[in-house]
Amino acid sequence: MRILLAVFGCHRYNYSPDDWFKRPTVDRLSALRDTWLKDVTVDYKIFKGRRVGLHDTALHIRPTDEVWLDAGDDYRHSNEKIKAVISYALEKGYDYLLKIDDDVYCYWERMNLNPTADYMGGGGPQYRGQYCAGITYYLSRRAMQILSNTSLATSDINAWAEDRWVGTSLWRHQIRCEFDLGYYVAKPTRTNQYISDADLEKLGHTFKTVHAMTPDQMRGYHAKRLQDRRGTEGQARLSDGVR
């Protein structure tokens, strides 16, 4: 089975001024590259849209792990971007697409690498309707083919948010989201979309992905996980030696 991990990124964070809460615009992708992306065992790409209004200089040479799509790059064109990601995955012959946002921390060793559902993901209670939260979800080749043939201009969907467009479009083909409680979503406030340090400290070790962490939180959390892992492995070796 060929799975493509698609990280939803952008050239520049450009949110709508009427968004209900303030979203930070700091670099997130370098934190992913410094942490859990190193553990990924399938093909992955970071997807961005068109570089509108940005100067092309030597500093903006495309990294080898990025794909720049002919699609809108801003928040309000996320449905256009996911459709372009799906076209890429189908063209490259992938069986599944695993989409993850760039402010999500992923425990890669806990991810399902043998999915069977056409559409699966998670989210809070507010998502237990027609669609999974956009933070993390899987799409089968069948689901991708349906979405590839679904117009973004369908007036009765009218959803610029990619997770809503995906879920609503699949719902109309009798494909429901298979929900998994293993994807954590921190409740945002009007001024902060990230999990608090206190909540992160007591989160436990049962989740597959956590939304959302700041880049600093992600690096610190990952370093602690590595330290804990080395400690556990050292204790195991010590126990084996005693035996």
Domain ranges of the chain: 3-242
Of 208, 31, 225, the closest CA to residue 113 belongs to: 208
Phi first, then psi, for residue 106 (nearest 5°) are -115, 130
Q: Are 101 and 121 in contact (CB under 8 A)?
A: no
Residue 147 has pLDDT above 70, yes or no: yes
pLDDT over threshold 60, residue 145: yes
What are 94-122's pLDDT values in tens digits?
A: 999 999 999 999 999 999 999 999 999 98
- State pLDDT tens for residues 191-210: 788 999 999 988 877 899 99
For residue 58, pLDDT beyond 50:
no
* Domain 3-242: which CATH number of 3.90.550.10, 3.40.50.2020, 4.10.80.40, 3.30.70.20: 3.90.550.10
Instruction: Tell me the β-bridge partners of 119.
Output: 139
Sheet-wide strand order for 104-106: 104-106, 209-211, 183-185
pLDDT at res. 211: 93
**134/92 Cα distance (integer angstroms):** 23
Whole-number percent of the chain with pLDDT over 90: 61
Which pLDDT score, from 0 to 100, does residue 138 have? 98
pLDDT score, position 241: 56
State the Cα–Cα distance between residues 10 and 33, nearest whole angstrom. 15
Reading the block at residue 210, the tokens are 């956590």
User: pLDDT value at position 91?
Assistant: 98
